[in-house]
Chains A and B, each alone.
Chain A
Amino acid sequence: DQQVKQNSPSLSVQEGRISILNCDYTNSMFDYFLWYKKYPAEGPTFLISISSIKDKNEDGRFTVFLNKSAKHLSLHIVPSQPGDSAVYFCAAILYDKVIFGPGTSLSVIP
């Protein structure tokens, strides 16, 4: 039973446009969420996070939105760049445990 879901395995976006990556979760006790980016043959790297007491966090081109009532968060990348092509993992924190989603592969087309 996946507690953190990323229902789109892949996404293609034109360079310069907005990329929106979605994540849904089932456990309302999750109190912190993170997004990681992963290139092939490398470990994931931290991108941005959000506490459950907030609904938005922004860092440069990256913005994460949290809708607690819908148990949904999204990562917006504006403008998308070819270097953003990677797998993006959503992760949620429950007490001391980090639970990852299955990832969404983003391709940004020049």
Chain B
Amino acid sequence: KQEVTQIPAALSVPEGENLVLNCSFTDSAIYNLQWFRQDPGKGLTSLLLIQSSQREQTSGRLNASLDKSSGRSTLYIAASQPGDSATYLCAVPGGYQKVTFGIGTKLQVIP
């Protein structure tokens, strides 16, 4: 059974800092890995998807990396802004397109 762990559970940084969110998974036989953002009281917004054959994927100030062999992914956020404050979820699809989610990292960027 796939297990997904996200560290840290919460993070508070001053505006402008670069930061890294971590995700680890136990079963390395994955299609891809998806990072989501969730604002309080809202649904999930897809940020980045890395295919199993890729090592990195970039979108604006976000960069996600994937190391299948070690079962790890990182989400790097450059020059953080208060608008980046949200919970970030890592998701790993498995059989029958079912997805296992981490509990998330709650990020607060302080102006």
Asked if A and B bind, the verdict is: no
Q: Measuring CB to CB, which residues of chain A are less than 8 angstroms from any residue of chain B?
A: none
Q: Measuring CB to CB, which residues of chain B are less than 8 angstroms from any residue of chain A?
A: none
